[in-house]
Amino acid sequence: MLTHNLGYPRIGSQRQLKRACEDYWAGRSTLQQLLQAGSKLREENWKLQKEAGIDLIPSNDFSFYDQVLDMSLMVNAIPQRFHDVVIGRKNSEMDLYFAMARGFQKDGMDLTALEMTKWFDTNYHYLVPEFQKGQLFKLFSTKVIDEFNEAKQLGIKTKPVLIGPVSYLLLGKEKEQGFDRIDLIENLLPVYLEILNRLEKLGVEWVQFDEPFLALDLGEKERNAFTYVYQLIRTSFPKLKVLLATYFEGIGEESVLAASLPVCAIHLDLVRKPKQLSQMLSLIPEPISISLGVVDGRNIWINDLEASLKLIKEAAEKLGESRVMLAPSCSLLHVPCDLDLESDEKVLSSEIKKWMAFAKQKLGEVTLLQKLATEEQLDNIDFRRNQEAIASRKTSPLIHDNKVKARVGAVTSAMASRKSPFALRAEKQRELLNLPLYPTTTIGSFPQTKEVRSWRAKYKRGDLSKVQYDKLLRDETTGLIRWQEEIGLDVLVHGEYERNDMVEYFGEQLKGYTFSSNGWVQSYGSRCVKPPIVFGDVSRPNPMTVYWSSFAQSLTKVPVKGMLTGPVTILQWSFVRDDQPRSETALQIALAIRDEVQDLEKAGIKIIQIDEPAIREGLPLRKAEWQQYLAWSIRAFRISSCGVEDETQIHTHMCYSEFNDIIQNIAEMDADVITIECSRSQMELLDAFAKFKYPNGIGPGVYDIHSPRVPSQEEMVFLLKKAQAVIPDENLWVNPDCGLKTRHWPETREALIQMVAAAKALREPVLA
């Protein structure tokens, strides 16, 4: 049985890639230093996987920003506006690459970045390819070829990884009407064939094509495209071994199509959908192999070796061992690098740690399964330890809290409803808050400078006392409140200087959570998050945000928003226990947030924002399963938000989401105001709200905070006028796309001053 890996975390166990990129962007390092940092990370990852005993080690799974963006550069899907970044200038191909990712504001040029959205149902963001009718493609970047050569020179023969041509097109967006992007497949495929030709000449044996869309709902065009692509690849390269990788879902009704494709192996995600194995075994013809994704690439819990061995045995008995491959369920991009780095017992206890595995340990699980399956050593000491850990987790008193279970059982339908409908609430809120038309606000966080981060680090190390730390944060918060008043924002925030992360901060104060010291995963580009870990029943021992919100409100007569993260987002952006339904865990978190909302209201906070950017992200990939998910996720939000009086204005925030298919459910959340990402899509997301006639307040983001560029007042007015065409004046809010934590102060100051000016400019004709 061959073992293989679909992809390894690219950021480095100490976030080396983050620092290398940010140093380059800031001009603190050269292009050569950036490239050397990438080369070193790749070498470390390849050697680590070789030492772990992985037979087929991936290459081209590394990226300086995003693997979809890499593919766009590879096939020259470079929008026209970016061409001048390098033509006649001293900028490099890497500068072009980063301009597409982050925008470009230099040398008299002002370019908006590619749109960014979620990678299926994960918290990873990818850069959306832009396609034009009749678009032609050609080989531009040779990254996949170069990295195979790089590994080969180290004595490691890798399995290059490419996003499959069908999925690549489906990941993109048509930038003009009148065509379907899948129609570009005949123009795109020759570039893939050229890449394969070059790889084959270099001695490549296996190539992995990631085709996650094969596990989604497909139309006839997409099905035909899969057949066309893989038949032509097989005809053109009969000796090349193609591994077709699906993940995040079961192949389901596309099993017949998948089994008919002329590839050498098909990878199945048996963590997400273990029952699909039997169906595929009944369909798959000789000599195609099946790759069993039995080790969870999305979560941090140890593998149940006994359960995995049953699946492996089922496949081996049907196909024979030589046609069975073992792997994680998907790329290990979505889990932290190395559990061995978690040595602080105060952060992560040894009892909980023994239930966990990070990327490096998951490779060990794959190779251990290979050994157990082929040598039948069930008395193996590692197997025994694994089963003992699985059993101890099921019975540990750390996990179960009867009080929490009883409270969940007592939830009533009345707890999920506001006292009055929105129209009546809106009147009371307008009278109380007395806000102008097009009220301006921000999403919550403000730039966390090196000084702020250093205070937190010193406080955690004990170099600052709590009194000293709180004094520094109060001074920083006071300065921010005064600055927001000065520029004329209508609804203020306290800046969230006390928070490390919008989920981790709450997890630290909730019972049932634990943490890691180095459990970083990539969210987008250089942005890394350290998801908290839900290991047991969740409850809120004490108020979490009331002190800082109340302190900020005491400094001003302008309304200050209380800032919370919603239950579904806390769930989605954590590593969640897998021993009970996610809906049950979400409801536990919702009750904890409900308590916090009510305490904020009692403290005099009249506007409370409960961020839920992950509601759309959490949708099952198959539409048949949507309604069940939406029922419990929307209920969880309403449980958290509906325990307040009519006068209290509830906001929520969602970013990088397509709402068309679930706009009815978004409305059912019944937030008084929803703020959404809209700038990169040029307000396209508002179409769903306009067609539905969304009744509540909407704040479409007027500038992209994921890019360092500063939009002009005129640009924001233009976007607001597009919003005005579909949103009633009395319901339109003005705000950035998302929180400002990752931005720098100079660009933030300038952008927000322009934003306030844009809102005032919009008010003038109305007032006249």
Q: Which residues are annotated as a binding site for Zn(2+)?
A: 653, 655, 677, 738
Measured CA to CA, the distance from residue 700 to residue 677 in angstroms comes to: 6
8 Å CB contact between 733 and 697:
yes
CA 544-641-634 angle, 5° bins? 120
- Which residues neighbour 420 within 8 Å (Cβ) at sequence distance 6 or greater? 646
Residue 209: is it exposed, middle or buried by C-beta count within 10 angstroms (0-12/13-18/19+)? buried
DSSP 606: -
Report the chain's terminal Cα–Cα distance, integer Å.
76
- Which residues neighbour 273 within 8 Å (Cβ) at sequence distance 6 or greater? 249, 250, 252
Among 533, 518, 514, CA closest to 341: 518
User: Up-side HSE of residue 202: CA atoms within 13 Å toward CB?
Assistant: 24
Residues of each annotated binding site: 118, 443-445, 496, 527-528, 573, 611, 617, 653, 655, 677, 738
Which pair of tokens denotes residue 208?
């992995």
Instruction: State yes or no: cis peptide before 746, omega within 30 of 0.
Output: no
User: Up-side HSE of residue 8: CA atoms within 13 Å toward CB?
Assistant: 31
Give the active site residue among 4, 267, 651, 706: 706
β-pairing, 159-163 with 125-127? unpaired
Is 83 in the active site? no
8 Å CB contact between 15 and 520:
yes
8 Å CB contact between 489 and 441:
yes
8 Å CB contact between 171 and 115:
no
Q: Which amino acid would we find at residue 732?
A: L
For 161-192, the three-class secondary structure string (H helix, E strand, C coil) is: EEECHHHHHHHCEECCCCCCHHHHHHHHHHHH
- Which residues neighbour 763 within 8 Å (Cβ) at sequence distance 6 or greater? 436, 437, 438
Paired with 356 in beta bridges are 301
Residues of each annotated binding site for L-homocysteine: 443-445, 496, 611
Its sign, for the CA torsion 709, 713, 715, 721, is positive
Among 591, 730, 735, 1, CA closest to 321: 1
Measured CA to CA, the distance from residue 549 to residue 164 in angstroms comes to: 48
Residues of each annotated binding site for L-methionine: 443-445, 496, 611
Helix, strand and coil percent figures for the chain, each rounded to 5: 45, 15, 40
Q: Which amino acid would we find at residue 72?
A: S
Catalogue the active-site residues.
Answer: 706
